[in-house]
Copies of this chain bind each other. A is one copy, B any other.
Amino acid sequence: MLKINDTDAVRFLDGAPDYEAADAALATLLKGDGAGNDFLGWVRLPFDYDKEEYSRIKLCAERIRKDADALIVIGIGGSYLGARAVVEFLCSPRHNEDPKGSPRIYFTGNGIDGADIAQILRLVEGKSVYLNVISKSGTTLEPAVAFRVFKDYVERTYGKEEARKRIVCTTDARRGALKSLADKEGYECFVVPDNVGGRYSVLTAVGLLPIAAAGIDIDALMKGAADMADICSKPGKDNPAVVYAATRQALYRKLGKKTEILSCPSESWRFVSEWWKQLYGESEGKQGLGIFPASCVYTADLHSMGQYIQDGERTLMETFLTCAEPAEDITVPDSAENADGLNYLTGRSLKSIYACAKEGVKQAHVSGKVPCMEIEIARPDAENLGGLLYFFEAACGISGYMEGVNPFDQPGVEEYKRNMFKLLGRP
């Protein structure tokens, strides 16, 4: 289901990575007695979720799919990246051009960008629009401003009464500005759990509602996560999360490899990498520590960042994401003239050509002294993606504990907010 290969990383180390320390970190995670242990809801989430709410998510998504041409998803950070990653990976980065009978999905409220909001207003004009606003507090600046605009739009377009059916909130279970408003207006609500931080929330209603509305099989996503949660609950080298965490920490601490590049095989992975960057950057980047998360989309970026990776500062490690079977494939057509000299590839699948490219790149980067790991999933489907997401979450918890930090807080994001609100003159 998911395979990890760290041979080309371990060969750079003097001795094996510290699997025992990884096992100990895993035990802390599972016992729930480490730092940040009030945010461990994600660990058992694939099993211990609210089944009644889960059914409502499916019903609500079905209603949106039947009735909506466009779903506007308002959220930032963890209330944005998970859903976008899954939708772009399993539908496509061109989903809105190629929606295949599903609603178009517009992610907004994730910046302070009038042009973005104005464009979406133009694009949905005359279409049947639903909103999903995702905010635990309801007072986060970016989604709150976007919600004001789009709430106003649907109320003007459909009238107050009908608008109430078209606005769905994912927010705190009991308190907060958005919850109060939703109760007053009678919006359907889903829950951002107290014990799951934003960057670990993709498998809660935060991610699941927009994902289901896009037509993705969330049962399969959850099954993949549950199966992976079983695998990731066992100590030792059969647990890929233990391997990944132990190896990257060894490369970081012993060899000073301070930047990890996650290399993906196509554009559809771009936001999986963005989600991964938040997960790892926000979990580990504290107290002056942490592996800097960066990403490449191959083979495009071999013609861009490839030179640096091969020959630049030797502070890099690289993790290749691959997929054994692509979603769709084509073969190289024959060419009578063979002007490009590629007839030796005629009839070959792009999948098999990519496999050679990836292997060639890995060998080259290893020879350039970049330790490389590889994580392979079987197919780009919901089940395998659910497994991959859970794997990365589990490995991140382990890796953060190995680093000696609380992987579940984000104290550093407050300072800019304080400055900003002061400059904005907040009363």
The residues of A with any CB-CB pair to B shorter than 8 Å are 76-78, 80-81, 92, 94, 96-98, 104, 110-119, 122-123, 138-139, 141-142, 144-145, 147-149, 152, 177-178, 180-181, 184, 198-199, 258-259, 265-268, 274, 277-278, 281-282, 284-290, 292-294, 297-316, 326-330, 332-333, 335, 337, 339-342, 344-345, 349-351, 353-354, 356-357, 359-361, 363-365, 367-368, 410-413, 415-427
Question: Would B148 and A350 count as touching, CB distance under 8 A?
Answer: no
Quick check: A281 and B304 within 8 Å, CB to CB?
Answer: yes
Residues of chain B lying within 8 A (CB to CB) of residue A110:
299-300, 303
- Are the C-beta atoms of A278 and B303 separated by less than 8 Å? yes
Contact of A266 among B77, B111, B342, B368 (CB under 8 A): B111
CB-based closest 8 A-B pairs: A285-B308, A77-B303, A285-B312, A360-B419, A360-B420, A310-B412, A278-B304, A311-B412
Docked complex Cα distance between A181 and B123 (Å): 42
CB distance from A82 to the nearest CB of B (A): 11
Closest to A424 in B: B356
Q: A96-B97, A145-B353, A285-B313 are in contact. List 13 more A-B contacts (CB 8 A).
A: A98-B119, A113-B266, A113-B350, A113-B354, A141-B357, A149-B330, A277-B305, A292-B294, A306-B416, A359-B419, A359-B420, A360-B419, A368-B412
Q: 13 pairs across A/B with beta carbons < 8 Å?
A: A110-B299, A112-B353, A113-B265, A115-B328, A144-B342, A145-B342, A152-B333, A198-B303, A274-B304, A282-B305, A286-B308, A294-B294, A357-B416
User: Bound state CA distance, A299 and B109, in angstroms?
Assistant: 10
A419 / chain B contacts, CB cutoff of 8 Å: 359-361, 363-364
Chain B residue with the shortest CB-CB distance to A350: B114
Q: How far is the CB of A276 from chain B (nearest CB, A)?
A: 10
Bound complex: CA A365 to CA B81 (Å) = 23
A350 CA to B361 CA in the complex, in Å? 44
Pick the residue among B94, B122, B198, B199 that contacts A119 (CB under 8 A): B94
* A357 / chain B contacts, CB cutoff of 8 Å: 112, 141, 416, 420
Q: Which residues from B are CB-within-8-Å of A425?
A: 344
Q: How far is the CB of A301 from chain B (nearest CB, A)?
A: 8
When chains A and B are docked, how far (Å) is the Cα of A371 from the Cα of B306? 27
Q: For the complex formed, measure the closest distance between the CB of A180 and the CB atoms of chain B, giving whole angstroms.
A: 6
Is A148's CB under 8 angstroms from B307's CB?
A: no
A83 to chain B, nearest CB (A): 13
A266 to chain B minimum Cβ distance, whole angstroms, is 4
Known contacts A149-B333, A302-B413; A427/B344 CB under 8 A: yes
Nearest residue, chain B, Cβ from A109: B300
Cross-chain contact B181 with A339 (CB below 8 angstroms): yes
**A94-B96, A299-B142, A425-B344 given; A307·B351 CB < 8 A:** no
Contact status of A114 and B329, CB under 8 A, knowing A94-B123, A286-B312, A299-B142: yes
Chain B nearest CB: distance from A206 CB in Å?
13
B360 near A310 with CB under 8 A, answer no
A326, B149: Cα distance in complex, Å? 18
Query: Across the interface, do A300 and B115 meet the contact criterion of CB distance under 8 Å?
Result: no
Q: What is the CB-to-nearest-CB distance from A332 to chain B, in angstroms, rounded to a whole number?
A: 6
The one of B118, B300, B349 that contacts A80, using a Cβ cutoff of 8 Å: B300
Contact B423 A359 (CB under 8 A): yes
Tell me, rounded to whole Å, the shortest Cβ–Cβ distance linking A285 to chain B. 3
Task: Name the distance in Å between A183's Cβ and chain B's nearest Cβ.
Answer: 11
